[in-house]
Structure 1
Amino acid sequence: MYQIVNTINTVPFQDVKAQKLLKLNAKECLFISLEAGGVLKKHSSPTDAWLLVLEGQITFHINNNEYVLEKHQLFDFPKEEVHWVTAQSNAKFIVIR
């Protein structure tokens, strides 16, 4: 059966919200909603990963560097590197790992 999923459009901006969208052959796709000024705390990914900004602006912190990412920009980063994200505005993004 076919299905349209509106999760990304319906999640409100309230603190930090993260949920798995799908898992494909040992890869997973996480959707994260972060309100302006919010912080996704320091952590690392068990696999190489890609981050796609859907809405808003974030700063991605890794290896003493900061990368400002905006809507429709894609950023890749290696596994096991400690990183964190701060939201400059209400933001929604997907992490594929």
Structure 2
Amino acid sequence: MKTTSFKDEADKENPHGVSVKKLYDTEHAQVMHIELKPGESLKKHSTPVDAFFYILEGEGIVEIGGEQEKASKDMIIESPAKIPHRLMNESDSTFRFLVVKVPRQTEQTRLL
């Protein structure tokens, strides 16, 4: 059995300048833990694979395409491949979520 705690993982360098930790990475799927402090946000970007966000803590704004919606604990938000998206924390508390990419993004799909 393999167990992973986000608290034990090192932050992964990223273009957003926020806390990102890789929790799971196989040939089939990838899971990242992201923490946005008050006022932080991801830069608008798209991925070549489908993803979904599972909200662990706090409230934030999820923007996918031209739509924005408030997201809170225990919600799942689908994010289709190749659609620009970003998550923002406009609250006074921490906003934590998982990003699950299925199938896993590879070097080849990253170039698409």
Same fold (TM over 0.5): yes
Q: What is the alpha-carbon distance in structure 2 between the residues aligned to residue 52 and residue 88 of structure 1?
A: 18
Q: TM-score, normalised by structure 2?
A: 0.72
Which structure has greater strand proportion?
A: 1
Which segments of 5 or more consecutive residues in structure 2 lack a partner in the other structure?
11-16, 102-112
Give how far 1:3 is off. Answer: 5.3
Structure 1 stretches of 4+ with a deviation exceeding 2 A read 2-6, 8-11
Alpha carbons of structure 1 residues 62 and 3: separation in structure 2 relative to 1, 3 Å? closer
CA separation of 1:10 and 1:22: change in aligned 2, threshold 3 A: closer
Q: What letter matches 2:72 in structure 1?
A: E
CA contact (8 A) 2:4 2:23 kept: no
TM-score by length of 1: 0.83
SS across alignment from 1:41: coil
Instruction: Give the Cα separation in 1 of the matches to 2:89 and 2:68.
Output: 12
Over residues 55-84 of structure 1, what are the superposed CA-to-partner deviations in whole Å (9 max), with x where a residue is unaligned?
011101122110111011011110011111
Per the alignment, residue 5 of structure 1 pairs with: 4
Match of 1:65 in 2: 67
Identity rate of aligned residues, in percent?
A: 26
Whole-Å separation in 1 of the counterparts to 2:5 and 2:73? 18
Aligned length: 93
Note the aligned Cα RMSD (angstroms).
2.1
